[in-house]
Amino acid sequence: MLYLESLYSKNANNMKKSVIRELLKLTQQPEIISFAGGLPDPDTFPVQDLQAAADLVFAKQARSALQYGTTEGDNELKAELIKFEERQGVRLSPDNMIIVSASQQALDMIPKIFLDPGDYIIAERPTYVGAIQAVQSYQGRMLGVPSSRDGDGFDMEELERRYLRAKNEGLSVKYIYVIPDFQNPSGVCWSLAKRKALLEFAYKHDLLVVEDAPYREIRFLGTPIPSLYQLDQEGENRSIIIGMKTFSKILAPGLRVGWVIARPEIIQKLVVAKQAVDLCTNVFSQKWLAEYLKTGKIYGVIAHTCELYRDKRDFMCDMLEKHMPRRSDITWTKPEGGLFLWLSLPSFIDTDEMIHKAVAEKVAYVVGSAFYFDEPEHNAMRINFSYSSKVQIEEGVRRLAKVVKAEIVAHETGRTAVAAPTGV
Ligand SMILES: Cc1ncc(COP(=O)(O)O)c(C=O)c1O
């Protein structure tokens, strides 16, 4: 019999299914209230304006929109994105940019061009599961650095300690991967001081920094903090940042379009990597987006999205306050932006085991352990507040709290946790 494992490459045998995508399948059942995915609220999609932009593409340039395009990306879209970035203080020229099939593609291409098997990257602990998956698929490894107690970015002493130990052991560390704005999963937003400290660290040790920023514009409280890309540009301008952006959270994830900004040599390497993957990003989507961006309406969409998500975040926090048992070891973050809360539970609760009980209660979350490359923490979860309606948030939190209460009672009485029937 054909034994496939011996035929698959080491890379393929190293690939692991995404816990989130597997969970998403499970939670497609309509009666489940899912806080698991990172889905935007579809009410934020500007359907009519996008339809008008698509009509214009068909009317004006159907033939080129249906043709192959360049791997670097559509020039008109790049021009619009350069204006978009300029409003945030980032200066770019077209050769600083490649259009990608959303940022997950960049997350795959960056380790592809930098990592040999066994090479390391430095990342936050916890970090985005899709980044872990991509690095693992190239047999790369991660050095995890925890956040500081203030929750404002890396614990810099730990970073220094872990990095120097790795260097002393002769390990090859290639780049630092961070999500400084409303991190997935923790919601942490890096302070200005931490951003500057990270840049200094990277300069000192000749490291590149990959700044993944899908949630940067989804800030609903506080004032924006300059991106690492911007800080480098305004300071020593050593071009050590690779910035990743996407339309997925600010417009619509179904478009599957994102962009990477970096120094031209890196962009050129990414172009070669992308040629082997998909030749070019969906040409129609790019022209469609260029037409839409010309209307300037995206800024209104982002403002409306932020308002909606602030309201939902507040509501979810209120519901957690109302329904969760009051204990000092049950806490959740209150991020100033993004799509997620990070909920920590008593150390005796294993959210990997509890997920089955939660799904039986018809509520879902992503287990915290999915966001660790190694030595996972088992008593946390990521919950999304952007997708569900308020009615679903209230009911979902109620169900979740009930499962948590049952775990606590079981721990205290030594019995197996069974949540009482909900009747809903
Ligand atoms: C931190 C981070 N990076 C990248 C992605 C991938 O996004 P997309 O491929 O839709 O642009 C996500 C999606 O949720 C994310 O949270």
pTM of the predicted model as reported, rounded to 2 decimal places: 0.94
Confidence (pLDDT) at 27:
66
User: In total, how many domains does the chain have?
Assistant: 2
Whether residue 340 is found in the same domain as residue 256 = no
Same domain, 279 and 326: no
**What spacing in Å lies between the alpha carbon of 60 and ligand 1's midpoint?**
32
Tokens representing 365 are 């979350």
CA-248 nearest atom, ligand 1: 10
Q: How far is the CA of 349 from the centre of ligand 1 (A)?
A: 28
Domain presence at residue 231: yes
The owner of tokens 């670097």 is 72
Give me the long-range contacts of 15-22 (CB less than 8 A, separation at least 24): 15/133, 15/136, 15/137, 16/133, 16/136, 18/129, 18/130, 18/133, 18/370, 19/129, 19/366, 19/367, 19/370, 20/129, 20/130, 20/366, 20/370
In a domain, residue 21? The reply is yes
Which tens digits make up the pLDDT trace of 7-22? 888 878 777 766 666 6
pLDDT of res. 200 = 97
Q: What is the CATH number of the domain that holds 105?
A: 3.40.640.10
- Name residues contacting ligand 1 (CB within 6 A): 38, 102-104, 107, 128, 130, 179, 184, 212, 214, 246, 248, 253, 258
Per-residue pLDDT at 25 exceeds 80 = no
Atom 10 in ligand 1: residue holding the nearest Cα: 248
% the chain with pLDDT above 70: 96
What does the chain come to in residues? 424
Rg (CA), the chain: 22
Report if residue 206 sits inside a domain. Answer: yes
pLDDT in tens, 148-160: 877 899 999 999 9
Same domain as 329, residue 181: no
> Ligand 1 centroid vs 422 CA: distance in angstroms?
34
DSSP classification of residue 221:
S
Residue 121 binned pLDDT confidence (cut-offs 50, 70, 90)? very high
- pLDDT tens digits for 377-393? 999 999 999 999 999 99
Exposure string for 36-63, b = 16+ CB within 10 A, e = fewer? bbbbbbeebbbeebbeebbebbeeebee
* Rounded average pLDDT over 60-86: 98
Q: Which domain holds residue 348?
A: 4-45+300-413
Is 423 domain-assigned?
no
Q: What is the pLDDT of residues 227-284, one digit of tens each?
A: 999 999 999 999 999 999 999 999 999 999 999 999 999 999 999 999 999 999 999 9
Query: Who wins on pLDDT, 404 or 27?
Result: 404
- State whether 39 and 125 are in the same domain: no
For residue 402, the CA-to-ligand 1 centroid distance in Å is 31
The answer to whether the CB of 19 falls within 8 A of the CB of 367 is yes
Q: Please check whether residues 114 and 261 belong to one and the same domain.
A: yes
Question: Which residue from 307, 355, 314, 250 is spatially nearest to 34, judged by alpha carbons?
Answer: 355
CATH number, domain at 398?
Answer: 3.90.1150.10
CA of 103 to the centre of ligand 1 (A): 6
Band of residue 29 on the pLDDT scale cut at 50, 70, 90: confident
